[in-house]
Amino acid sequence: MPDLSAYPVTHRWPARNPEVLQLYSLPTPNGVKVGVMLEETGLPYEGHRLSFAENDQFTPEFLSLNPNNKIPAILDPNGPGGKPLALFESGAILVYLAEKTGKFLSSDPVTRVQTLQWLMWQMGGVGPMFGQFGYFHAFAGKEIEDKRPVERYRAETERLLRVLDGQLDGRDWIVGDFSIADIATGPWVRTLLTHYKAGDLVGWGTLKNVPAWFDRFMARPAVQRGVTVPPES
């Protein structure tokens, strides 16, 4: 049985089954990415739900796993060479899990790099811009009288949706078959619609391809399970 005692995160969140992958997360958009990926791949895992209200992400135990104090993070007892591997950053985790399982990242060199291209597009654009828009539209930022910040991020969110709409023209999925590009992007679009309730503000009704793609994404049983990972205890 793997010994994970060298990892302080397991002292605060003990592994009930140290032989399976340990996930430390919340069902935020970035957390949902990994929850969906784990459900889609069928890889055995154990989820540990952090609490932002309790500032779990700033505890020494979690910072030992991710010094950037962000979820999600994983601890895989069966990493490369059979040794434990700790990993943070949702995009890196998606690539790692895809390579580990041989799923959702094509072995074809062209399709593979195109998928990684759209994954980087999500990480560098959709996540940060949608997140900032959400802050200024739906959270504490909405109290700021100067509306230039919210408009900046609203416009960029709308632009990114139109980029995605163009890429999906004639395609069911972002690149080839269902992939980590879709798994990375879908949770952010879901949050834009359901949590920020901002579809009307970013031209959702004028998009030709994104709504049907999003419906296909949300119809997948593993996605429906993944959006609740880790569940509340």
- Domain membership flag for residue 181: yes
Phi-psi region of 51 (alpha: psi -120 to 50; beta: other; left: phi over 0): beta
Q: Which of 103, 124, 147 marks a domain boundary?
A: 103
Cβ neighbours, 10 Å, residue 94: 25
pLDDT of residue 232: 86
pLDDT of residue 197: 97
CA distance readout (Å), 151 to 155, 158, 193, 207? 6, 10, 17, 19
CA distances, 138 to each of 34, 49, 104 (Å): 25, 24, 33
Nearest to 166 by CA among 211, 113, 209: 209
Determine if the pTM surpasses 0.85.
Answer: yes
Last residue of a domain, one of 76, 103, 130: 103
Residues 119 and 87 in one domain: no
At residue 137, the 3 state secondary structure works out as helix
Output the DSSP codes for 8-50: THHHHS--SSTTSEEEEE-SSHHHHHHHHHHHHHT--EEEEE-
Q: Do 85 and 21 have their domain in common?
A: yes
Secondary structure of residue 76 in the 3-state scheme = strand
Residues 77, 127 within the same domain: no
- The answer to whether position 1 is within a domain reads no
pLDDT average per 10 residues of sequence, the chain (233 residues):
90 96 98 98 98 96 98 98 97 98 98 98 98 96 95 98 98 98 98 97 98 98 98 83
Same domain, 113 and 219: yes
Question: Do 75 and 133 share a domain, yes or no?
Answer: no
Asked whether residue 91 is domain-assigned, the answer is yes
Report pLDDT for 1: 73
Q: What is the DSSP letter of 51?
A: -
Separation of alpha carbons 200 and 95, rounded Å: 33
**Residue 83 falls inside a structural domain:** yes
Place of tokens 């994954």: 119
Query: Which of 103, 137, 162 is where one domain is finished?
Result: 103
Residue 36 belongs to domain with CATH number: 3.40.30.10
The whole domain housing 99 covers 9-103
Based on the fold, state whether residues 130 and 212 are members of the same structural domain. yes
What is the per-residue pLDDT for 2? Answer: 81
DSSP state of 142: G
Residue owning tokens 């269902």: 178
Integer angstrom CA distances of residue 230 from 76, 158, 233: 16, 30, 9
Rounded CA-CA distance 28/6 in Å is 28
Looking at the structure, tell me whether residues 131 and 209 fall in a common domain: yes
Measured distance CA(144)–CA(110) in Å, rounded: 45
Structural domains in the chain (count): 2
3-state secondary structure 151-201: HHHHHHHHHHHHHHHHHCCCCCCCCCCCCHHHHHHHHHHHHHHHCCCCHHH
Q: Is 113 in the same domain as 99?
A: no
Q: How far is CA 86 from CA 7, 39, 163, 212, 223, in A?
A: 9, 20, 34, 36, 24
